[in-house]
Structure 1
């Protein structure tokens, strides 16, 4: 989709030689978060400095890139075109810098990741980390977010991915991805029409479970907890058996499952954030850099592309 941008327009917004990656990084953060203030906090600059960066970028490219709306700033069609390419360019830029500046990494690094995300994001990240640091050994621990955060607090993990909202108040984590939760049901049976709605979700307190039950409560839709599982594999197995509905991301669904929508009578769900925490250490820092680059490259999985 080119959003009506002609070849002439593409030429006009081609990235000039020498364009500062910091401008693109700030633009990506503003476009994703809809706020100059939030972007400024992420890059450690003042709000006025980031606003100046956006003006410089628009002047350099000759096109407006951001528009202010009722929900904050959003990219123009030219901004959408640039956003995708800026993410990929920054991922490559960060990978190059990391590979040349990082010291030789060896030893054991322990990475936590909910199984909901492991197959979707980790394979290319781990492959590139292994290529850059062949002497390092990575241990991947797949548990629910609350369990991973507990392990991280006890020092049993060097870094962990988790669903934001599970962390304790005051914990400052780095957001890597933001996208929508979606209802998921069996393709062969209309379980979303059953009342009370049979839910297949994780443990009490899971942010996905809270989001689902809150949405149903606001919509006045009766529900019951039919099955629970500590892993997405478990919830998918139950839904594939035609025994209920669950929630998940809008990508990489197993055959036999389908996304449910408001047209199916399902209420909207909030956005999900995937966040990162890391302890100090060369191996953890190096792996975190590869994780950031990997999420930047795979940003096509985000809400704005789903």
Structure 2
């Protein structure tokens, strides 16, 4: 007949083993020393094995205790994960997410929908801005999780995907043939200096005809075939298309889509949402996790 371990007693044992004594464990568990000692005794009796060698005020693990400690940690971790998942009130609060406008689609709406379904008490604020601004806000602790588009990844970041940067223009447009080459970029666009440098290296004269913080302004000018722009492959707006320049323009670099997650007091919330983001960008991750 299957028997069940007492998780309360198991938690007492793991805490005693990790803190090195009943007194410290009692303080961490907010219990009396006698209550902790009773739980340890009950666990040893149920298993029929000695788990601790009591030496004065300290304790040492028996071989059986060492073996149980490894399993106990994993069991309690899984217990806590299930508890947090099933009780949405464990995920009350507010989470601030920053995403560059050009990668909001296709994945972010699905992530937000999943968060709303699984953690209805969690309030999510979405901030759309440029990578440079998002990283500054993140560094100041104003954002809990950010996605970025960069040519590399800083310490603490995780690369979700790499995507080539492509020249885009109006459908069947000819602006890319003009010299000087007319460009339209947001003032704070992180790709702007890279594009300028590549054109300079290729000996192609250029003219920045749009200096704006508005993405709509850039899109309007480019779709009117008055300038060209650069977008991540697969993220161009419907009224623009990738330019088939046949080598007349320099090849643009591959860009990393990165995720940075806060380690402040909202970390459990950020970690939960980061898992959804990771699975959206890397479906194979979700498949492996489900096995």
Q: What TM-score results when the alignment is normalised by the length of structure 1?
A: 0.60
Give unmatched runs, 5+ long, in structure 2.
Answer: 1-79, 286-291
1:175 aligns with 2:159: yes
Equivalence map 1:41-80=2 (5 Å): none
Give unmatched runs, 5+ long, in structure 1.
Answer: 1-97, 300-306
Q: Say if 1:140 and 1:285 are closer, same or farther in 2 by CA, change over 3 A.
A: same
CA drift at 1:189: 2.8
Equivalence map 1:29-40=2 (5 Å): none
Look up the SS of the partner of 1:181 in the other structure: strand
CA distance in 2, matches of 1:127, 1:137: 12
Look up the SS of the partner of 1:207 in the other structure: coil
1:228 aligns with 2:214: no
Equivalence map 1:196-207=2 (5 Å): 196-203=180-187, 206-207=189-190
CA distance in 2, matches of 1:144, 1:252: 15
Aligned partner of 1:138 among 124, 139, 142 = 124
Which stretch of structure 1 is more off in the superposition, 142-151 or 260-269?
260-269
Decide which structure has the larger Cα Rg and report it: 2
CA distance in 2, matches of 1:212, 1:244: 14
CA distance in 2, matches of 1:118, 1:101: 31
- 1:293 maps to what in 2? 279
Q: Say if 1:117 and 1:179 are closer, same or farther in 2 by CA, change over 3 A.
A: same
Q: Is contact 1:166-1:207 (8 Å) kept? A: no
CA distance in 2, matches of 1:163, 1:288: 16
Q: Say if 1:235 and 1:100 are closer, same or farther in 2 by CA, change over 3 A.
A: farther
Q: Say if 1:134 and 1:186 are closer, same or farther in 2 by CA, change over 3 A.
A: same
Deviations 1:13-65 (A, max 9, x none): xxxxxxxxxxxxxxxxxxxxxxxxxxxxxxxxxxxxxxxxxxxxxxxxxxxxx
CA distance in 1, matches of 2:197, 2:113: 39
Equivalence map 1:65-144=2 (5 Å): 100=82, 102-103=84-85, 104=88, 105-144=91-130
Aligned partner of 2:137 among 151, 162, 165 = 151
CA drift at 1:164: 2.1
CA drift at 1:217: 1.6
How many positions carry a matched residue from both structures? Answer: 200
Q: Is contact 2:180-2:206 (8 Å) kept? A: yes
> What is the alpha-carbon root mean square deviation over aligned residues?
2.6
Runs of 4+ in 1 over 6 A off after TM superposition: none
Q: Is contact 1:165-1:207 (8 Å) kept? A: no
Q: Say if 1:274 and 1:252 are closer, same or farther in 2 by CA, change over 3 A.
A: closer
CA distance in 2, matches of 1:115, 1:171: 23
